[in-house]
Amino acid sequence: MKEKETTLKVIAEKLNISITTVSKALKNYSDVSPTTREKVLELARELHYTPNSFAVNLRTKESKTIGLIIPEVVHHFFSSVINGIIAEAEKNEYLVIILQSNESLELEKKQVQLLINKRVDGIIMSLSNESNDDDHIREIIHRNIPFVMFDKISKMIPCSKVIIDDQKAASAAVEHLITVGCKKIAHIRGPVNPQNAIDRFLGYKKALEKNNISFDKNLVFTCVRVSFEEGYEFAKQICKNHPDVDGIFVITDLVAVGVLAYLNENNIKVPEQIAVIGFSNWFMSQVIKPKLSTVDQPSYEMGVSAFNLLLKEIRAVKEDKPKVIENLILDTQLIIRESSKK
């Protein structure tokens, strides 16, 4: 009792008209009489006709689908960005295919290839920690596929980007620590590769210089996995080896929470003995004790903007117009809570 799929052909045959006319009627072409249009629309409704998107894709050469590659889904920041992207995409009738690079360059390459083969209309991406300026990214550009990077970007790639001013935001965070009286500030930084880890580090350094605090490279600790455990561990090292540290600027809230956990367990008073400030404004940071000071990153808006930039490019490419490269720098906000109020 296999039901036959409703196609234009089926409708055409039932009404004894041509496929062409059926198609036109459904797409509101002007050269079909009101009478036939009505008949077509009614029968289409009755038979639950939906255009075969495979055929439409082939014919129009677009799939109304974009690809998104991010390092990690289970992450407050990234899942918020995803949220923004798919919400905005849906508004514009686009669907989103999500891939997770797991911070692996190899996987990332495979996934870019997958998306290219899939012929998505565009790609949004945040780089894995391992990758930087690589061939797979260049191929996207070379193929003239609309492409937007956000957050973890490569400065070398000529494409639209949505970022924050990491250096400035980090500087502000560290200056805040200085303002509340910190004299010796440690920095738990992100991995070596990612641009934003570099920039936050540079911001840290700049704030010290500006306030005539000498930079000590022994006070910089580099995360590899960017985890709670690393925060805990580095906090321990700091307390053991640098008892005079009175402030810590941490690459991201999750790690900062690890720092707080160690300090709490060892009865080191925050912020009295050591002030702590994180980055990203993770939901959890206002829930723990003491509430964590941090830098708010507009993650949802980042997703929205990234999609809109991509949409612009998609439209430009479609009309064979030259590609416009836009760099969007979103505002961040210093959020001062208990962990840095002296």
Partner DNA sequence: TTTGAAAACGAAAACGTTTTCGAAAGTGCC
Partner DNA sequence: GGCACTTTCGAAAACGTTTTCGTTTTCAAA
**Residues near a copy of itself (CB under 8 A):** 50-55, 57-58, 61, 63, 65, 73-76, 79-80, 82-83, 86-87, 90, 95-100, 111, 114, 116-119, 228, 257-258, 261, 264, 283-284, 287-289
Give 31 or 135: the residue with its C-beta nearer to DNA.
31
Nearest distance from residue 41's CB to a copy of itself, in Å?
17
Binding partner selected for residue 31 from a copy of itself, DNA, none, CB under the kind-specific 5 to 8 Å limit: DNA
Q: Residue 308 carries which side chain, given as an amino acid letter?
A: N
Distance CA 279, CA 285 (A): 10
- Do the Cβ atoms of 85 and 306 come closer than 8 Å? yes
Give 52 or 241: the residue with its C-beta nearer to a copy of itself.
52
Nearest distance from residue 241's CB to a copy of itself, in Å?
24
Distance CA 127, CA 122 (A): 16
Binding partner selected for residue 36 from a copy of itself, DNA, none, CB under the kind-specific 5 to 8 Å limit: DNA
Binding partner selected for residue 26 from DNA, a copy of itself, none, CB under the kind-specific 5 to 8 Å limit: DNA
Distance CA 310, CA 84 (A): 13
Helix axes 8-15, 34-46, angle to 10 degrees: 120
Helix (H) or strand (E) holding 305: helix 299-318
- Do the Cβ atoms of 285 and 297 come closer than 8 Å? no
Give 71 or 247: the residue with its C-beta nearer to a copy of itself.
71
Nearest distance from residue 97's CB to a copy of itself, in Å?
5
Radius of gyration of the chain (CA): 26
Residue 88 structure tokens: 């905005």
Distance CA 82, CA 104 (A): 19
Nearest distance from residue 168's CB to a copy of itself, in Å?
26
Q: Which residues bind DNA (CB under 7 A)?
A: 5, 7-9, 16-21, 23-24, 26-27, 31-36, 49, 51-52, 54-56, 58-61
| Angle formed at CA 115 by CA 112 and CA 119, multiple of 5 degrees | 135
- Do the Cβ atoms of 226 and 191 come closer than 8 Å? yes
Block residue for tokens 């580095």: 234
Give 31 or 244: the residue with its C-beta nearer to DNA.
31
Nearest distance from residue 326's CB to a copy of itself, in Å?
24
**In Å, how far from its chain's centre is CA 134?**
19
Nearest distance from residue 59's CB to a copy of itself, in Å?
8
Residue 279 structure tokens: 């980055």
Give 84 or 190: the residue with its C-beta nearer to a copy of itself.
84
Give 119 or 315: the residue with its C-beta nearer to a copy of itself.
119
Nearest distance from residue 119's CB to DNA, in Å?
10
Q: Is 329 left (phi over 0), alpha (psi -120 to 50) or beta?
A: beta
Binding partner selected for residue 192 from a copy of itself, DNA, none, CB under the kind-specific 5 to 8 Å limit: none
Binding partner selected for residue 173 from DNA, a copy of itself, none, CB under the kind-specific 5 to 8 Å limit: none
Give 51 or 220: the residue with its C-beta nearer to a copy of itself.
51
